[in-house]
Amino acid sequence: MTKRFDELWQLSTVDLNSKVQERTELMTAYGLMQTLQARSYLEIGASMGGSMVVLGANCTKVVAVDLFEQHSAPTLHLAMKMISAPHVVGVAGDSRDPKTIAKVVAHGPYDVVLIDGGHDYRTVQSDWKTYGPLATKAVFFHDIAQPYVKILWNEIGGGLEIKSPRTTMGFGVRFV
Ligand SMILES: C[S@@+](CC[C@H](N)C(=O)[O-])C[C@H]1O[C@@H](n2cnc3c(N)ncnc32)[C@H](O)[C@@H]1O
């Protein structure tokens, strides 16, 4: 059964105490996951799992990539347990490291890929080039209003923008 957004928002912001998403933006991105009937999901930069528990909630395969730093790793492990998908994998490492890439490719392809890792230009560009081709339905970017993400977003021609006037974040969506 499809999990409702309100319940997932509670998991994200209260149970995981993740505060890095804007509610209406995430709700719209969640709605798009349902419209696309996305069943497999890759998130680059899963952090404490705040967006992953929502966007990956109704998927059967979820792969989470992050540096798994000490402050965030326990919460990310908890978030991975909250997802009922039969196939939930955490990949600890730099998204540009060939070992990380090999692991992510081995679990692919993915209906939807979210790029929300390093927000410097080189990393966003690398993540787009490396992981974008693994998406079969759409690539989501988070923080398209952030300076370096915005540069890359404009360079690749933009796409659907999900932006609340109340934040400086925003999702960008490139359909495959
Ligand atoms: C803005 S946070 C992601 C927030 C998360 N998507 C959410 O909404 O809850 C960015 C994350 O990317 C990770 N990160 C930064 N550079 C990375 C890299 N080169 N490879 C993998 N993860 C990276 C950081 O450790 C951090 O957890």
pLDDT at 51 over 60: yes
Strand partners of residue 141: 115, 172
- The per-residue pLDDT for 167 is 79
- The per-residue pLDDT for 166 is 79
Work out the pLDDT band at 3, boundaries 50, 70, 90: confident
b or e along 25-64 (b: 16 or more beta carbons within 10 Å of the residue's beta carbon)? bbbbbbebbeebebbbbbbbbbbbbbbbbbbbbbbebbbb
pLDDT at 1 over 70: no
The domain in which residue 77 lies consists of 2-175
Tens-place pLDDT, residues 145-168: 999 999 999 999 999 999 998 778
| Nearest ligand 1 atom to alpha carbon 45 | 12
Cβ of 176 less than 6 Å from ligand 1? no
- The per-residue pLDDT for 124 is 98
- The per-residue pLDDT for 2 is 63
**Beta strands 110-115 and 87-92, pairing class:** unpaired
- Helix/strand/coil for 117: coil
- Please tell me the total count of domains within the chain: 1
Average pLDDT over the chain, rounded to an integer:
95
- Region 33-55: mean pLDDT is 97
Tens-place pLDDT, residues 8-25: 999 999 999 999 999 999
- Region 126-132: mean pLDDT is 98
pTM (two decimals)? 0.97
Cβ of 116 less than 6 Å from ligand 1? yes
pLDDT at 74 over 60: yes
| Whether 39 contacts 111, CB under 8 Å | yes
From ligand 1's centre to the CA of 43, what distance in Å? 9
From ligand 1's centre to the CA of 89, what distance in Å? 16
Give me the CATH number covering residue 156. 3.40.50.150
| Whether 116 contacts 143, CB under 8 Å | yes
Residue nearest (by alpha carbon) to ligand 1 atom 4 = 47
